[in-house]
Amino acid sequence: MITEKDAILACQAGKTEMYRTLVEKYKSRAYYTALMYTKNRDDALDLSQEAFYRAYRALNRFNPDKNFYTWFYKILRNVCLNFISRKKENVPISDGTYPGAVLSERESRPDEIFERNERSAAIENALDRLKETDREIIVLKEFDGMSYNEIAETLSIPLGSVMSRLYYARKKLLKELEYLNE
């Protein structure tokens, strides 16, 4: 069986086909992470694939002894955030500056991330109301399944801060849920 490190070394030696091992392993996590940002299936597919492409281009500079996904995640996050900020710049909605611009039906109705039930819808709404940094750490832990070590590496924060950041983020999430339930 090919290990992740073997696949990275093979890619660095120019064997593009070996990159498939990494893509197949992480495509699901990458797609759902992008979906959390974009709320749109097609965009999430395209952006996660774009992030894999950019990671491939930068792979020669990657140390194969390090964790691939935490490094890849930073690329994915940048791709998604750039996309969102570009979209915000280009699509002023009903603010009067661009009175003719309207979103198509596909753009205005976000795709569902979770199987729908009342509680998951409430949690998803509450998550959307959090600050980006708070939402991100919860998503990394709960939906990306990262360990504290991986979160610390991904967010470039000390390991000791992961627990406190998670505490404050979850506390805010609970507060938002209470607010939405009122």
Partner 1 sequence: MNKNQITCEQAQILMMGMLDGELNAQQKKQVEEHLDRCANCAKTYQAFKKLKKETSDMKLKPLPEMYWDEYWQHVYNKIERGIAWILVSIGAIIILAYSVWQAMEQFFIDPMEPLSMKIGVGALVLGTIILFVSVLREKIMLRKDDKYRSIKR
> Looking at beta carbons only, is 50 or 77 nearer to partner 1?
50
For residue 21, what are its two tokens?
A: 């091992």
Which residues are CB-contacts of 7 (< 8 A; sequence separation ≥ 6)? 18, 19, 21, 22
Tell me which of 8, 19, 39, 76 binds partner 1, using CB under 8 A: 19
Which residues are CB-contacts of 17 (< 8 A; sequence separation ≥ 6)? none
The least CB distance from residue 1 to partner 1, in Å, is: 18
d(CA 49, CA 26): 11
Site membership for partner 1, residue 157 (CB under 8 A): no
Q: Are 62 and 71 in contact (CB under 8 A)?
A: yes
Q: Which residues lie near partner 1 (CB under 8 A)? A: 16, 19-20, 23-24, 27-28, 31-32, 41, 43, 45-46, 49-50, 52-53, 56-57, 83, 86-87, 90-91, 100-104, 106-107, 112-116, 119-120, 123-124, 138, 141-143, 147-148, 163-164, 166-167, 170, 173-174, 177
